[in-house]
A and B are shown apart, each in its own frame.
Chain A
Amino acid sequence: MTTNTSDAALAVAIGRYDRDALAEAYNRHGSAVFALARRIVRSRELAEEVTQEIFLRLWHKPQRFDPERGKLRSFLLSDTHGRSIDMIRAEGARRAREEKDAVLAPRTQESVEGSVWQNVASAEIRQALMELTEDERAAIELAYFDGLTYREVATKLGQPEGTVKSRIRTGMKRLKTQLTALGVMP
């Protein structure tokens, strides 16, 4: 199994019970999976639990990845996001999280500085983000990285639900346009 092996070939090899292929997938994407999980669940232990689950799920159900629909990394991160959200929405975790959030100041709008976006290393993606309004950035960040539903985002930002879901959708479309123009997306 080489570092040049395609995502599709990796998945096929995993489907044939090739442990080296799973190891290669882990080497390529394990850190990204862990980083996203950790950002959402805010616990190293839980993030490692999520990471383990994601790769075991890939091992047992490799057919869930369809290379015609995107890259393996995107698939794994989408899976990671969903599993992390499930974890933090579990009642026990939610209570602990709310207690942690309670000590933070109420949140309204944020600029790129002082938010999760300040950690964006890619100049292209940072540039794309700058095309969004602050409201759009805040709504997307709260939904994606804090794991809130759009209704919870609306409550947190003190804005109507319809406005928030529109901002999320418009922001995502605008990001797609920008990322495409910058060559980050096809």
Chain B
Amino acid sequence: MTPTPEDLAGAYALDALDDIERRRVERAAEADPELAAELADHLEVAAILAQAIETSPSTPSPMVWQSISDAIEGESAPDIEFVTPRRNSWMTRVVATVSVAAVALAAVLAVRVVDQDRRIENLTTAMQTDPVDQAAQTAITAPGSQVVTLADPAGSAATVQLVMTEEGVGYVLSDALPALAEDRTYQLWAIVGDTVVSAGVMGNDPGITPFKVAGGEITGFAITEEVAGGVVSSQNDALYLWLNA
């Protein structure tokens, strides 16, 4: 009798399945949150067991780190693909759609690019005299700067504005964002070409947040809510999104 994916859950966490069985379990877990939770528990138990075992001597030779360090030495820009491979990610959707039809996507998501003059007037009025605020205000009025409005893809009226200078330095004018719980944070993402990169972890109650994006043409920005400290790739929906149509 063929074992069910549930039967194989424990063996899965111990890497004790063949490839076909492992894929069966993974496919089943994608559609079954209960099974996915059980797998997560088993994997955590396995990791604890691994940590509990002490072997002596358990220290790798210094040459291991030296080899790692040498291997990354020449990599000024590692080939990091920030686009999450998992489905249901706004990153995947955004990047895929930007690649084929940026204009159409902009229309679908109701991206609003606010008239620049009106933005500047509104923003400078709101600015405080904090050094970061002043820097942002300078950026807003600097030649070549671009002010964009990130809109709620769900269609609400909520927006966040952001100014980006020609030098790649920017400021999220995020003081209107509602405060999150202390274990959460807002995170800013830049879409550079067909890649989504983290542009900054903004904190749970951000004011004006500076950031810098180096290299490449920026085709969009997004803000997500994440666990405190930020994540490398987001699985959450964008709260605010701007795409360069």
- Where the two chains meet, the residues of A that have a C-beta atom closer than 8 Å to any C-beta of B are 6-9, 11-12, 14-17, 19, 22-23, 26, 30-32, 34-36, 38-39, 47-48, 51-52, 55-56, 59-63, 65-71, 73-74, 77-78, 80-82, 85, 116, 119-122, 125, 140, 143-145, 147-151, 153, 162, 165-166, 168-173, 175-176, 179, 184-185
Contact = CB atoms under 8 A, between A and B. Distances in A.
Contacts of A51: 60, 64
6 contacts: A7-B229, A8-B229, A17-B77, A68-B235, A78-B43, A185-B45
Interface core residue of B15, B75, B76, B228 (most chain A CB under 10 Å): B15
Contacts of A143: 11, 14-16
A30 B80 CA distance: 22
Contacts of A120: 52-54
B32 interface: no
A69 to B, nearest CB: 7
A165 B11 contact: yes
A22 B10 CA distance: 32
Nearest to A83: B15
Contact of B69 (A15, A19, A77): A19
B229 A52 contact: no
Contact of B82 (A14, A15, A70, A144): A15
Contact of B11 (A7, A19, A121, A150): A150
B72 A59 contact: yes
Contacts of A162: 1, 3, 7
A8 B14 contact: no
Interface of B: 1, 3, 7-11, 13-18, 40-55, 58-61, 63-65, 67-69, 71-72, 75-82, 84, 197-198, 201, 227-233, 235
B136 to A, nearest CB: 22
B68 A166 contact: no
Nearest to A184: B48
A95 B105 CA distance: 56
Contacts of B42: 169, 172-173, 176
B231 A67 contact: yes
Contacts of B17: 149-150
B63 to A, nearest CB: 7
Contact of B46 (A38, A78, A153): A78
B14 A12 contact: no
B80 A61 contact: yes
A176 B10 contact: no
A62 B10 contact: no
Contacts of B80: 15, 17, 60-63
A14 B229 CA distance: 13
User: What are the nearest 6 A-B pairs in CB distance?
Assistant: A169-B10, A8-B229, A74-B47, A35-B58, A143-B16, A63-B233
